[in-house]
């Protein structure tokens, strides 16, 4: 079988949640899509005549040359807006500077120490043009890959938009990833240039970034130039000829750089995400379709209006930041708030303080953050008015109904609709989501498909399961924002996503659809775990562990965690002669952080003599999951090779 699905082929659905929240009348009246009937009408058209629908939406953007054909579909290879020429930087900037938006805030940035910097559309346009000229002066050409390893400063979107402007393909690497993770991504993408900064601020301290780049470049010969933005001013060792200061190059750069007309299928970016193997996949997003998908979802799902102040709390290192901090909102001419640091600096009310001071009207955050706020206590949001908010959103993992209700009442004061948006790095834009004003919500459900999305819950043969039953979430038709391939590995793209149930896109998530046609996403059905809304492959963590000289074998599973959604449990067998000490556990945790990044640090490590395996030698992760979750194994053990292993594993708990 191509893509490894869970060991079982049926999925039990256990969540029963009957509450339903109608759209507030006052919201519907002013919404882009004001009723369910209107959503139904649009949805019907979008799936019956997708080319007509998407062609009309694409017409709201600027094209240097109109497309000849909306879609060319040769499963799994899609081409959208064939023959069209477009530039995303143009659509995010130039399209607005000739209008009243010229002096509107594009980015309102608040640093962790408290500084506020605002870039209007015109100012951002100028910065982007200058940096595009900087890239050109370093020899970066259309089609070259540029790696970006930065913190949450406005220069990060400036760098992305400058790449998009000249047709260089960016690959943003989350600043929390380690030097080794950066090496893998630079090798895979063969980036010629790296854009970074000396450091960033988090929880009152500097998080250094440049040293990781310096370390990585010892083994990355493809990189010829590094541009360093000076944020913290800490001392760094630059290498003459290779390393350049952002401010030096910008001082010399001209502020005119026309946007390059690019083929609609020109690669905009590569973003790496975990799959079921140890090697992250570089998902390739192209220009035209992605532009249309992010533009429309931002407009309709956030019901975005000219006067909104919009804040997405994600890091731009993840797809959420790409689509819903940079490309979607800026194409819509939104005022985008961007925050550099931690939610509890200097106090746990930083988010609520930011919302009140900047009069944020739309907040988009993650369930893991919401659960953390609940833990910190209501006194923190209660200190603030929060009356500027009109819409709330979540993304990244299933939201438990308790957290949903808390978000609704304590943050939204029972007034703001909540959009629980399901989508993936691969999908590029939101796929299942309420449209506020049109679709009533149910806590824990991502509700209905966005127009143009044909989603279904099926069994392993691809047959739809009855309402209320669990199954695999699949997408039947192509959509404009979809990833086009895995960089350098089209075969893996085909195998992973389009071969499990032939002809359909396999999401890797389990879900059920209720009698009202609402989708309830239950989580991954493969070896991907979701820790604080971040995807990790169990194989990736296992590979990191076995790379340590003391480790013979490792098996990693996710177990439920109240705050993070899932926590990482590792079962480790040691090389002969190595002692299972607490110091070694700590050393291994640090080792994984160094290999991948601290988000991958196992929460618990258990040393064991043997791992439970089938007769064919496959590790029975299901048993380990049960053990990590409940401390015992009740499930089916008939395929286990050596039954004494289980008893030994339980004993290992006490080590």
Residues in contact with ligand PRX by CB under 6 A are 273, 319-320, 395-398, 420-425, 446, 507-509, 521, 523-524, 530, 535
Compare residues 420 and 527 and give the one whose CB is closer to ligand PRX.
Answer: 420
Smallest gap from Cβ 302 to ligand PRX, in A, equals 15
Residue 521 CB, nearest approach to ligand PRX (Å): 4
Closer to ligand PRX at the Cβ: 478 or 510?
510
Min dist CB 351 to ligand PRX, Å, is: 19
CB 476, min distance to ligand PRX, A: 17
CB 157 within 8 Å of CB 107 = yes
What does the chain come to in residues? 655
Q: Residue 272: which of 180, 337, 367, 336 has the closest Cα?
A: 180
The dihedral formed by the CA atoms of 427, 535, 298 and 185, expressed in degrees to the nearest 10: -70
Residue facing ligand PRX at closest CB distance: 425
Nearer to ligand PRX, 128 or 292 (CB): 292
How far apart CA 286 and CA 162 sit, in angstroms, is 16
Place of tokens 């009533």: 440
Nearer to ligand PRX among residue 197 and residue 320 (C-beta) = 320
Cα 134 from Cα 187, distance rounded (Å) = 23
Residue 239's CB is within 10 A of a number of other CB atoms, namely: 9
Residue 418 or 623: the one with the smaller Cβ distance to ligand PRX is: 418
Residue 554's CB: how many other CB atoms inside 10 A?
Answer: 25
Structure tokens at 364: 């988009």
- Nearer CB in complex with ligand PRX: 140/455: 455
Residue of 467, 417, 425, 468 lying closest to 443 (CA atoms) = 417
Nearest residue (CB) to ligand PRX, 129 versus 297? 297
Q: Which is nearer to ligand PRX, 381 or 508 (CB)?
A: 508
145 within 8 A of 191, measured Cβ to Cβ: yes
Q: Collapsing DSSP states into helix, strand and coil, what is residue 442?
A: coil
Q: Return the number of the residue (259 or 536) whose C-beta is nearest ligand PRX.
A: 536
Q: Provide, rounded to whole angstroms, the least separation between the CB of residue 512 and ligand PRX.
A: 12
Among 129, 160, 128, residue whose Cα is nearest residue 147 = 160
Answer whether the bond into residue 76 is a cis peptide, omega within 30°.
yes
Concatenated DSSP letters of 497-558: HHTTTTTSEEEEEEEEE-TTS-EEEEEESSSEEEETTEEEEHHHHHHHHHTSTTEEEEEEEE
- Judged by beta carbon, residue 225 or residue 424, the one nearer ligand PRX is 424
Which residues, 6+ apart, have CB-to-CB distance to 272 below 8 Å?
A: 171, 173, 184, 185, 188, 280, 281, 282, 283
Q: Report the residue number, 180 or 507, with the smaller CB distance to ligand PRX.
A: 507
CB of 438 to ligand PRX, least distance (A): 18
C-beta of 531 vs 645, nearer to ligand PRX: 531
Residue 203 Cβ vs ligand PRX, minimum distance, rounded to whole Å: 23
Distance CA 581, CA 579 (A): 6
Least distance between ligand PRX and beta carbon 510 (Å) = 9
Element (H, E) at 299: helix 288-301
Rounded CA gap, 184 and 383, in Å? 45
DSSP 8-state symbol, 219: G
User: What value does the CA radius of gyration of the chain take, rounded to a whole number of Å?
Assistant: 24
Supply the minimum distance, in Å, between the C-beta of residue 418 and ligand PRX.
Answer: 11
Provide, rounded to whole angstroms, the least separation between the CB of residue 69 and ligand PRX: 29
d(C-alpha 510, C-alpha 263), whole Å: 36
In the complex, minimum distance from the CB of residue 433 to ligand PRX, in angstroms, rounded to a whole number: 8
Alpha carbon distance 311, 302 (integer Å): 11
Q: How far apart are the first and last CA of the chain?
A: 38
In the complex, least distance from residue 530 CB atom to ligand PRX, rounded to whole angstroms? 5
Minimum Å distance from CB 518 to ligand PRX? Answer: 12
| H-run or E-run covering 356 | helix 350-358
Nearer to ligand PRX among residue 343 and residue 565 (C-beta): 565
* Residue with smaller CB distance to ligand PRX, 281 or 585: 281
Q: Which residues in 612-642 are b (16+ Cβ under 10 Å) and which e?
A: bbeeeeebbbbbbbbbbeeeebeeeeeebee
- Rounded to a whole number of angstroms, the minimum distance from the CB of residue 239 to ligand PRX is 34
């Amino acid at each position: 079988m191509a893509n490894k699905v869970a060991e079982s082929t049926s999925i039990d659905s256990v969540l029963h949640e009957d509450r339903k929240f109608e759209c507030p009348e006052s919201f519907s009246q002013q919404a882009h899509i004001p009723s369910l009937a209107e959503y139904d009408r649009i949805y019907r058209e979008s799936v019956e005549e997708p080319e007509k629908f998407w062609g009309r939406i694409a017409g709201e953007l600027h094209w240097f040359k109109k497309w000849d054909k909306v879609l060319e579909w040769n499963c799994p290879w899609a081409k959208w807006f064939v023959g069209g020429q477009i530039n995303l930087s143009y659509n995010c900037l130039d399209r607005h500077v000739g209008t009243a938006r010229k002096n509107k805030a594009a980015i309102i940035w608040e640093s962790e120490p408290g500084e506020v910097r605002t870039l209007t559309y015109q100012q951002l346009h100028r910065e982007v043009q200058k940096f595009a000229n900087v890239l050109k002066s370093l020899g970066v050409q259309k089609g070259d890959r540029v790696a970006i390893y930065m913190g949450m400063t406005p220069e990060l979107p400036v760098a992305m938009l400058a790449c998009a402007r000249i047709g260089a393909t960016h690959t943003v690497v989350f600043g929390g990833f380690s030097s080794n993770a950066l090496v893998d991504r630079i090798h895979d993408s063969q980036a010629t240039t790296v854009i970074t900064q000396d450091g960033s601020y988090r929880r009152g301290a500097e998080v250094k970034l440049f040293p990781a780049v310096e370390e990585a470049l010892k083994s990355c010969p493809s990189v010829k130039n590094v541009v360093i933005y000076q944020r913290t001013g800490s001392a760094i060792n630059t290498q003459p000829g290779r390393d350049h200061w952002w401010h030096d190059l910008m001082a010399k750069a001209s502020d005119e750089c026309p946007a390059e007309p690019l083929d609609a299928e020109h690669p905009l970016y590569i973003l790496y995400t975990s799959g079921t193997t140890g090697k992250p996949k570089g998902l390739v997003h192209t220009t035209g379709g992605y532009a249309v998908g992010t533009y429309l979802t931002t407009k309709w799902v956030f019901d975005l209006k000219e006067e909104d102040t919009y804040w997405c709390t994600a890091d731009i290192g993840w797809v959420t930041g790409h689509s819903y901090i940079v490309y979607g909102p800026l194409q819509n001419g939104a005022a985008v708030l961007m925050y550099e640091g931690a939610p509890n600096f200097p106090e746990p009310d930083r988010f609520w303080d930011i919302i009140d001071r900047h009069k944020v009207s739309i907040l988009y955050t993650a369930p893991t953050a919401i659960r953390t706020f609940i833990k910190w206590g209501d006194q923190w949001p209660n200190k603030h008015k929060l009356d500027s908010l009109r819409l709330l959103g979540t993304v990244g993992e299933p939201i438990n109904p308790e957290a949903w209700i808390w978000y609704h009442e304590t943050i939204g004061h029972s007034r703001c609709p909540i959009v629980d948006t399901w989508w993936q790095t691969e999908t590029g834009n939101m796929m299942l989501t309420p449209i506020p004003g049109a679709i009533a919500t149910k806590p824990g459900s991502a509700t209905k498909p966005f127009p143009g999305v044909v989603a279904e819950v099926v069994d392993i043969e691809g047959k739809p399961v009855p309402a209320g039953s669990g199954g695999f979430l699949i997408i039947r038709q192509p959509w404009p924002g979809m990833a086009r391939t895995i960089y350098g590995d089209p075969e893996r793209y085909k195998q992973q996503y389009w071969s499990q149930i032939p002809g359909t896109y396999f999401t890797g998530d389990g879900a059920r659809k209720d009698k009202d046609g609402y989708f309830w996403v239950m989580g991954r059905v493969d070896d991907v775990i979701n820790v604080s809304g971040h995807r990790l492959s169990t194989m990736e963590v296992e590979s990191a562990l076995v790379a340590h000289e003391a480790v013979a074998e490792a098996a990693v599973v996710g177990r439920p965690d109240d705050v993070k959604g899932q926590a990482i449990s590792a079962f480790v067998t040691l090389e002969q002669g190595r002692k299972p000490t607490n110091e070694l556990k700590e050393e291994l945790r640090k080792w994984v952080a160094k290999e991948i990044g601290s988000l991958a640090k196992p929460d618990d490590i258990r040393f064991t003599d043997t791992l439970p395996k089938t007769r064919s030698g496959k590790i029975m992760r299901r048993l380990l999951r049960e053990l990590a979750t409940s401390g015992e194994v009740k499930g089916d053990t008939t395929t286990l090779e050596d039954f004494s292993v289980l008893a030994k594993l339980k004993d290992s708990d006490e080590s």
